[in-house]
Amino acid sequence: MDHFNYQNGHLCAEDVRLSRIAAEVGTPVYVYSTATLTRHFGLFQQALEWTPHLVCYAVKANSNLAILKLMGDLGAGMDVVSGGEYARAKAAGVPGERIVFSGVGKTIAEMRMALEGGIRQFNVESEAELQALSQLADSMGAVAPIAIRVNPDVDAKTHEKIATGKSENKFGIPIAKAREVYAEAARLPGLQVVGVDMHIGSQLTDLDPYRQAYAKMADLVRALRGDGHTITRLDMGGGLGIPYRRDNNAPPLPIEYGQVIRDAVGDLGCEIEIEPGRNIVGNAGILLASVIYLKEGEGRDFLILDAAMNDLLRPAMYGAHHDIVPVNEPTLGAEVSAMDVVGPVCETGDTFQKGTQLPAMMAGDLVAFRSAGAYGAAMASEYNTRPLVPEVLVSGDQFAVIRARPSIEEILARDTIPEWL
C-alpha cells in the first residue's frame, strides 16, 4: 500500500495534488510520501520485534538528507558504502553508533573518517581490507569493530547486475574461507570481531535464497564460536523486493522475511541488523513528468516526456519496468492506445516502455512513474546537461522541496576553463 492515489480524478501524493507540485516546482520531479516511508520502516521494526535489532536503512537507495533525517528520527540505523554516504548519515543527525559501513573498496580516508566520527561496525569484504583497517585503527590508537561479509554462494534469483551472493561476484569472502579469515582478524591489532555479515542481492522476490544463505550463516556462527570468537551481531543485509507492477504477485512481506530470519538464526542470541533500502523507499516515491510532444512514427506512436534516462536510469540499465500512469484519472472506459514512452536524451536506450496502453494525451499533460523512490534520484545524472532532477517530500497536505533543481548557471559554474586555454 502506498499513498499515491486518485482523489476526485487527480493523482495525489497523500493529500497534495501532483499537478500542484508540477505547477510550483516544475517537472521532471521526484515526489516522496512521508506516510509511506514511515509505514514501511515500521513494517521492518515489527518484523524484528522478537529480537534486539537495528534496521539500518541502505542509504544508497535514496540518500536525500531529508529522507535520512526522517529515517533516523524513527530510530533507524544507516548502512553506508562511501565516505559521502557516511557524511550524509551524520549530517542527518544519525550517531556513529548506528552506522554500519559496507562496500568492497573502502579507502583509508573513508575508514579514517568513520573511525574519527564513530562507527557501529565495518563490514569487511577482503583480507586486504582487514589488514588496512587493522593498521589504520592501530596507528590511531583506536579499535575498529568488524563483521566480515561472507559470500554464501547462493543464487538470489534476481537480475544478474544486482545479485551479489554468488561466488563469481566481487562481494565478501568465500564462506569456505571464513574461519581462516576470522582467525586472522582475531590476531590483528586494532580490530574487534563483533559479528558476521551477508548481503546476497537486491530485488529478491523469493525467500528461498535467504533461507539457504542464512542457514549457512547459522552454521558458520556455531563454528566460529567453537573457534573461540565472540559473535554478538548478525547483519543479514537487505534486498527484499517490491512489487513494480500493480497486477503482479506481490513479493513476500517484511513480516514473512522476519520469520525466515527467526527460523534460521533466532536461537543464536545475537542482535540482528538488516539493511533494507528499496523496500522502504521504492514505493514511497514517484517520478512526475510532463508530455512534451506526441509523435507519430512508422507503425508506432511516441510519447515524448521531459523525463529521461538520466533522471530514472533503471529501465535503460536493467530493462526495469515502472508503471506509468496519467495524473488526470482516465474516465472509465476511456479509449487507450499503444505508445512508446521515451525521453529527450539522444540515445535509443532512452526508452521507458514500449507499446504502453495509455489514454489520449496532449502536450503538457502529466504522467507519474510509480515505484521510483529507490535508485531513482540516487542514480540520476546530468547527462546531456539536463539539470539534476529535484526532489519533493509530501506530508499530509504540505510539501517541501528537499533538493532544488540547479539552474543552468549553477551547472556551468562547476566547470573551470584553465587559464592557458
Ligand X SMILES: Cc1ncc(COP(=O)(O)O)c(C=O)c1O
Ligand Y SMILES: N[C@@H](CCCC[NH3+])C(=O)O
Task: Indicate the annotated binding residues.
Answer: 239, 275-278, 314, 318, 347, 375
Instruction: Please give the residues from 215 up to 274 whose contact with ligand Y meets the rule CB under 6 A.
Output: none
Grid look-up 524484528 returns: 48
Give the three cell numbers for residue 405. Answer: 533543481
Q: Quick one: CA dihedral 378, 384, 385, 387, positive or negative? A: negative
Give the three cell numbers for residue 179. Answer: 574461519
Least gap, CB of 64 to ligand Y (angstroms): 16
Q: Which amino acid is at 31?
A: V
Shorter beta-carbon distance to ligand Y: residue 318 or 383 = 318
**Binding site partner of 275, from ligand Y, ligand X, none, Cβ cut-off 5-8 A by kind:** ligand X
DSSP string, 166-194: STTSSSSEEGGGHHHHHHHHHHSTTEEEE
Give the three cell numbers for residue 155. Answer: 543464487
Report the distance separating Cα 173 and Cα 151, nearest Å: 5
State yes or no: residue 202 binds ligand Y (CB under 6 A): yes
Question: Which residue among 203, 212, 353, 371 contacts ligand Y (CB under 6 A)?
Answer: 203
**Binding site partner of 102, from ligand X, ligand Y, none, Cβ cut-off 5-8 A by kind:** ligand X
Shorter beta-carbon distance to ligand Y: residue 233 or 314 = 314
CB atoms within 10 A of CB 409: 7
Is 346 one of the annotated active-site residues of the chain? Answer: yes
What radius of gyration, in Å, describes the C-alpha atoms of the chain?
A: 23
Annotated binding site for substrate: 278, 314, 318, 347, 375
Give CA torsion, residues 296, 298, 301, 306, to 10 deg: -70
Give the number of residues in contact with ligand Y, rule: CB under 6 A. Answer: 8
> Distance from CA of residue 238 to its chain's centroid?
9
Distances (CA, A) of 44 to 89, 235, 389: 19, 14, 29
Here's the x/- map for ligand Y, 319-348, by CB under 6 A: it reads as ------------------------------
Least gap, CB of 275 to ligand X (angstroms): 4
Question: Which residue among 17, 120, 314, 386 contacts ligand Y (CB under 6 A)?
Answer: 314
Grid look-up 554462494 returns: 153
What are the φ/ψ torsions at residue 226 (nearest 5 degrees)? -60, -30
Report the distance separating Cα 183 and Cα 222, nearest Å: 14
Least gap, CB of 124 to ligand X (angstroms): 12
Least gap, CB of 374 to ligand Y (angstroms): 7
Binding site for ligand X (CB under 6 A): 58, 61, 79, 102, 199, 202-203, 237-239, 275-279, 374
Is 108 in a helix, a strand, or coil? helix
Residue nearest to ligand Y (CB): 375
Instruction: Please give the residues from 146 up to 175 whose contact with ligand Y meets the rule CB under 6 A.
Output: 162
Which one from 12, 56, 270, 346 is the annotated catalytic residue? Answer: 346
Question: Which residue among 375, 394, 399, 402 contacts ligand Y (CB under 6 A)?
Answer: 375
Least gap, CB of 280 to ligand X (angstroms): 8
Binding stretches for ligand Y (CB under 6 A): 60, 162, 202-203, 314, 318, 375, 379
Q: List the catalytic residues.
A: 346
